[in-house]
A and B are shown apart, each in its own frame.
Chain A
């Protein structure tokens, strides 16, 4: 089942390229967005690298398909890590508790923080809401997104409880 270096070496370098590239990108230009386009570009470059290498090493079609599948897995994992690490409220609470704050202190800090307003800004940057005279207003795009969220949350689960 476990193959020789011929398969794993390009996969390893592809993963390294992706992780290092994306990490450097995040650190050089910090941002709040998930940076889907740069990630796809990094993925494309690493995929090109392994395909060229695979073609040079005379991989068959199935082996090349295997490499593409692993790249696709990297993309899924990226979104999983991004949403889990960047956006998770539970992780934020865990981290605050690990720094020695009591539960009450963590709650007070969270409630006084600007995280709610930052989420509104995030929604505004995505074009789903805008601010006007102290009000938050849903755009037509935001309305469609909200309807979709309500539908899918009930279809796949028991509703969006927050």
Chain B
């Protein structure tokens, strides 16, 4: 999606494994504490489970796991950022979140080629503000997972069940 140089987008910033990320605020529905996640058997590993949010049952995605960081127990600072992309409503579990910031287009660069191709796909851009690096997330990409190549590694139980079924 192209941005004109005059545009300023507003973002919600969050922390993940020591790095600051941003999501466009228009994609964020609300934020909650991380509570009562029900695990879903045979879901991708980065799907920690489901939660009830405003009457809806939504997946809770552990972004640490999604981006390959070592998982960490939830703390009082952990947050569930409920985002909406298209018809989907999904919760993102992050280490901390509280900042809300306008980022003028000039501060944003396209994602660098040198960032690993897998993770690079999840970024819309990188913002540099006061020497601070903010990775801007492309939620749609972050929440899309390809089918089979991730299958074996990510949900062994179902793979076993599936193979006996076929």
Q: Do A and B share a complex?
A: no
Give B contacts to A, CB under 8 Å: none
Give A contacts to B, CB under 8 Å: none
